[in-house]
Amino acid sequence: MERLGKYTVRIVNAFFIFCVANIYPLAALKWHIWIWGLFLAAFLFLNIRPALYTGKIRIKRLKTCQNGCELLGLFLATTVLSILFQLLGIFGQLDYVGEAALFAELNGWADWLINILLVIVVEAIVFWNGIIRVYTTSAQLGIKWRVIGIICGWIPIAHLVALHKIMNVASAEVKAEDEKALLDETRREEQICATKYPILMVHGVFFRDFRYFNYWGRIPEALQKNGAIVYYGNHQSASSVADSGQELFDRIKEIVRETGCEKVNIIAHSKGGLDCRYALSKLGAAPFVASLTTINTPHRGCEFADYLLSKIPQGQQEAVAKTYNAALKKMGDHNPDFLSAVYDLTADSCRKLNESTPDVAGVYYQSVGSCMRVARGGRFPLNMTHALVQYFDGENDGLVGKESFPWGANFRYLTIKGNRGISHGDMIDLNRENFPEFDVREFYVQLVKELKERGF
């Protein structure tokens, strides 16, 4: 019944657009002026405030995006119908419909030009209304498909292919995000992520916790919607494991002191997992930590990093480090140390760290890793490093090998069907990208739910 209603609305709207676009030859039908007024009013209403079928979409942005997709679909359908209608008229196949002589009153090039221009103007209004709505509301199109759409818009055939892809991406986004919103809505009262202790999210190397560009993408919002209290490490982007560990210990004590929460549950990504282990074992942070979950952390280092550092001359390493440190200072680091951060990720450094930082009793340790199947499954620079890491470290996420991930009482390895896989960046929702079979936000919701069930 719902699908029938959807198609009925589409057919009615397409009929209104077609009639307005082809009103010049259709005038031969001598319909009453109020009928033409109805068509025009419906057309204007359709464009000002689309009366399209959006079902029960819960988020305004998604409704606007879906309306844009529907308008683009109507544009394609009515454009094809209008072209066929005009061609049949030109070749005399629609001279008469009953007593009406369609196209018979079009005399000379002026009338034909007015006729064609009217079709172009009407269809252009529908198209631009739709594409602007999609471009301004879709998050999944990204820069890539927006640019492709603009470029291909001037190339015959290619513009249809690009438009079809844009519509598919936007429509899939609406469906996925609406389902996610419904899921969160239905379990809101359960507060499944309301853990006993708050969540402390710790970033990896070369990134910071920014206010307007969250390192963890859409994940913290998803956790908070389901009851979690979330804090961030707020440590420097590049420092040695020891220095980062000290910063994190200070941050943990600050949270405990200000909130009275007693302990925190740490979720740490990449090098952040090493930093946290150091803080727990070497600095005395364990009494203030209930659990540590490491995400794609190189616990056994990266052979690839060892190889690169052995091949790059010391002078060149220092020049790169100087450039990075200067940039990182501008981003907020007070004393960045690029080379120390990199060297602490080597297999040899991690081996020494593991020997000196045993797990602390009373803290629950667990780990997560993922696999990137092919280079194109990751964004830059992971698409460049995947093959090299595979050569040295085997199956990997674009930066870290599979054998380096496991740590603690529980380890889970994430893969999906197909060639894409799940990259190092995907695990923190770096690109805010939806893809089939894996919703990183829901993964974290379930992960924190399990922490709650364990009493943490």
Each residue's pLDDT tens digit, 332-343: 888 889 899 999
Q: Pick from 164, 149, 190, 25: which is nearest to 95 by CA?
A: 25
Burial class (CB in 10 A: 0-12, 13-18, 19+), 217: buried
Q: Strands 364-370 and 289-295: what pairing?
A: parallel
The DSSP string of 280-341 is HHHSS-GGGEEEEEEES--TT-BHHHHHHHHHS-HHHHHHHHHHHHHHHHHTT-SS--HHHH
Amino acid identity of residue 311, one-letter, is: K
Over residues 78-130, the pLDDT tens digits come to 999 888 877 776 555 555 444 445 555 555 556 667 778 888 898 999 999 99
Domain end, chosen from 168, 184, 200, is at 184
Over residues 223-234, the pLDDT tens digits come to 999 999 999 999
Q: At 423, which CATH number? A: 3.40.50.1820
Q: What is the pLDDT of residue 377?
A: 67
Domain end, chosen from 184, 201, 220, is at 184
Q: Are residues 27 and 82 in the same domain?
A: yes
Report helix, strand or coil for 431. Answer: coil
Q: Pick from 303, 302, 294, 299: which is nearest to 411 by CA?
A: 294
Q: What is the pLDDT of residue 96?
A: 47
pTM: 0.86
The residues facing 267 across adjacent strands are 201, 293
Would you say residue 180 has pLDDT above 90?
Answer: yes
Model confidence band, residue 291 (pLDDT cutoffs 50, 70, 90)? very high
d(CA 368, CA 411): 6
Q: What is the pLDDT of residue 1?
A: 45
Percent of the chain with pLDDT over 90: 55
Q: What φ, ψ does residue 243 adopt, rounded to 5°?
A: -70, -40
Q: Are residues 226 and 148 in the same domain?
A: no
Q: Are residues 239 and 373 in the same domain?
A: yes
Domain end, chosen from 184, 207, 224, is at 184
Q: What is the pLDDT of residue 98?
A: 47
Q: What φ, ψ does residue 166 adopt, rounded to 5°?
A: -60, -45
Q: Are residues 261 and 297 in the same domain?
A: yes
Average pLDDT, the chain: 87
Would you say residue 135 has pLDDT above 70?
Answer: yes
d(CA 333, CA 244): 12
Q: Are residues 104 and 142 in the same domain?
A: yes
Q: Are residues 387 and 274 in the same domain?
A: yes
Over residues 3-49, the pLDDT tens digits come to 555 677 788 788 878 878 777 666 655 666 777 778 788 888 888 87
Q: What is the pLDDT of residue 249?
A: 98
Could you give the number of structural domains in the chain?
A: 2
Q: Are residues 254 and 327 in the same domain?
A: yes
Report helix, strand or coil for 267. Answer: strand
Domain that holds residue 56: 2-184
Q: Are residues 208 and 355 in the same domain?
A: yes
The helix or strand, by DSSP H or E, that contains position 372, with its residue range, turns out to be none
Helices vs. strands in the chain: H and E counts, helices first = 16, 6
Q: Are residues 280 and 227 in the same domain?
A: yes
Q: Are residues 217 and 333 in the same domain?
A: yes
Q: Are residues 361 and 410 in the same domain?
A: yes
Q: Are residues 140 and 208 in the same domain?
A: no
> How many residues can be counted in the chain?
456
Model confidence band, residue 52 (pLDDT cutoffs 50, 70, 90)? low
d(CA 389, CA 397): 9
